[in-house]
């Protein structure tokens, strides 16, 4: 080849090599920036191994000393088991959503609580169950209400969130949907325990007229009087995601078709990664009118109030002024918790990655 002369082959080879290098380095750059983005997102979500789980088994008016010591122990053992069950999942890196659903299923399957088997009965002596779950990361939520053949309503609620375009499905529709989704169904009689039957007979014997007469008002489950409450769980996982769930039989002697606060997103159940996750328990009608769970989140979001203060304002000020009984559990995005209640008792517990672990009733 003469110097200075044009060599077509070498010209095209050089261009090809140049083009190849350009594409290669461009591809590497894109890949690199994607990796940086993923790492940044992971850092933003990194909770440094921190997780928190808070649970409740309902609030009521029972004064300390009215419940048999043995019974009290039974409750504490079950709360502890539920807490350990969920804590193990979160410690292993499980999601808050999975932990909340699993813990609530566990409590629904325990006849001590007013959710799943052992739920209180409506004015006709049947169990009608409500449940909701919410994912604080995506803002998605699912709920079922007035169902009588779904063994674990919380799992049906999760399917509504993940497998339908809806948030709340009630009655027959929810049961048909649950069946299609492979959620376990049972006979309505499955939910009725001898204790609840007895309580219902007692309630019925007081009933002298229409539902709503003073003698036979629907009863807010009261621990000391063996009418136990709703179950709920809120969690913060190691990825920094919040979730909340609640499940209930509602109130003893409630009207057929009555739906409480539990499955109403923002009333009894709410989660938002920007603020907190909340599960409430108490006289549902007040909790719905006061939009309790969302109110707590909104106070934190718009006023910068701490979770502790917001919980106090809602339960101890607002609800107490209305003579409305109840409580709530909540965890914020930084792992702070609050468990206020204005009743004599609230079955509750919490566990944290720091090693803190507590269950209590009064």
List the interface residues with ligand ASP, window 233-252 (CB under 6 A): 248, 250-251
CB of 231 to ligand ASP, least distance (A): 9
List the interface residues with ligand ASP, window 284-323 (CB under 6 A): 284
Should residue 128 be labelled a site residue for ligand ASP when binding is judged by CB under 6 A? no
List the interface residues with ligand ASP, window 199-218 (CB under 6 A): none
Q: Which two tokens stand for residue 8?
A: 């077509």
Should residue 260 be labelled a site residue for ligand ASP when binding is judged by CB under 6 A? yes
Should residue 263 be labelled a site residue for ligand ASP when binding is judged by CB under 6 A? no
Catalytic annotation, pick one of 222, 230, 262, 343: 230
Contact indicator for 85, 107 with CB cutoff of 8 Å? no
Rounded CA-CA distance 140/359 in Å is: 30
What is the Rg, in whole angstroms, of the alpha carbon atoms belonging to the chain? 26
State which of residues 221, 224, 253, 266 lies at the interface with ligand ASP (CB under 6 A).
221
Mention every residue, 6+ apart, whose C-beta is less than 8 A from residue 7: 1
Q: Which two tokens stand for residue 181?
A: 């989704």
Should residue 222 be labelled a site residue for ligand ASP when binding is judged by CB under 6 A? no
CB of 246 to ligand ASP, least distance (A): 8
State which of residues 282, 311, 340, 349 lies at the interface with ligand ASP (CB under 6 A).
282
Should residue 58 be labelled a site residue for ligand ASP when binding is judged by CB under 6 A? yes
Is residue 230 annotated as a catalytic residue, yes or no? yes
Q: Which of 114, 71, 117 is nearest to 253 (CA)?
A: 114
Should residue 230 be labelled a site residue for ligand ASP when binding is judged by CB under 6 A? yes
Should residue 325 be labelled a site residue for ligand ASP when binding is judged by CB under 6 A? no
Should residue 146 be labelled a site residue for ligand ASP when binding is judged by CB under 6 A? no
Q: Which two tokens stand for residue 307?
A: 């979770």
311-to-193, 194, 293, 314, 318 alpha-carbon distances in Å: 34, 36, 9, 5, 10
State which of residues 122, 137, 241, 262 lies at the interface with ligand ASP (CB under 6 A).
262
* Residue with smaller CB distance to ligand ASP, 87 or 329: 329
Contact indicator for 135, 271 with CB cutoff of 8 Å? yes
Q: Which of 289, 246, 4, 36 is nearest to 143 (CA)?
A: 246
CB of 303 to ligand ASP, least distance (A): 26
- Tally the residues of the chain: 362
Please report how many Cα atoms fall inside a 13 Å half-sphere around the Cα of residue 285, on the Cβ side: 11
* Residue with smaller CB distance to ligand ASP, 222 or 273: 222
Question: Binding-site residue total for ligand ASP (CB under 6 A)?
Answer: 15
Should residue 261 be labelled a site residue for ligand ASP when binding is judged by CB under 6 A? yes
User: How does DSSP classify residue 83?
Assistant: H
Q: Rounded to an integer, what is the distance from CA 221 to the centroid of its chain?
A: 19
User: How does DSSP classify residue 155?
Assistant: H
Catalytic residues: 230
Point out which residues bind ligand ASP (CB under 6 A): 58, 220-221, 229-230, 248, 250-251, 260-262, 268, 281-282, 284
């Amino acid at each position: 080849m003469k110097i200075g002369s044009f060599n077509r082959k070498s010209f095209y080879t050089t261009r090809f090599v140049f083009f190849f290098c350009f594409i290669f380095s461009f591809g590497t750059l894109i890949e690199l920036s994607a990796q940086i983005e993923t790492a940044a997102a992971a850092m933003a979500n990194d909770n440094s191994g921190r997780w928190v789980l808070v649970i409740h088994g309902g609030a009521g008016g029972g004064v300390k000393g009215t419940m048999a010591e043995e019974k009290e122990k039974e409750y504490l053992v079950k709360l502890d088991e539920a807490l350990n069950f969920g804590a193990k999942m979160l410690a292993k890196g499980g999601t808050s959503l999975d932990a909340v659903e699993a813990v609530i299923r566990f409590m629904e399957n325990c006849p001590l609580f007013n959710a799943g088997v052992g739920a209180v009965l409506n004015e006709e002596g049947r169990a009608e169950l409500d449940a909701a779950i919410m994912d604080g990361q995506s803002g998605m939520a699912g709920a079922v209400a007035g169902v009588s053949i779904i063994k674990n309503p919380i799992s049906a609620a999760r399917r509504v969130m993940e497998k339908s375009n809806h948030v709340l499905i009630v009655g027959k529709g929810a049961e048909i949907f649950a069946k299609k989704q492979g959620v376990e169904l049972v006979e309505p009689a499955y939910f009725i325990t001898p204790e609840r039957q007895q309580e219902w007979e007692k309630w019925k014997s007081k009933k002298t007229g229409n539902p709503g007469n003073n003698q036979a008002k629907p009863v807010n489950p009261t621990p000391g009087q063996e009418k136990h409450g709703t179950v709920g769980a809120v969690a913060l996982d190691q990825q920094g995601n919040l979730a909340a769930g609640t499940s209930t039989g509602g109130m003893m002697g409630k009207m057929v078709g009555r739906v409480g606060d539990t499955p109403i997103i923002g009333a009894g159940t709410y989660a938002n990664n920007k603020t907190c996750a909340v599960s409430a328990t108490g006289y549902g009608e007040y909790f719905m009118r006061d939009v309790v769970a969302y109110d707590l989140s909104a106070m934190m979001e718009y006023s910068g109030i701490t979770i502790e203060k917001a919980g106090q304002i809602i339960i101890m000020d607002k609800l107490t002024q209305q003579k409305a009984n109840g409580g709530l559990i909540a965890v914020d995005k930084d792992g702070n918790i609050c468990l206020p209640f204005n009743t004599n008792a609230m079955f509750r517990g919490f566990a944290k990655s720091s090693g803190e672990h507590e269950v209590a009733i009064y």
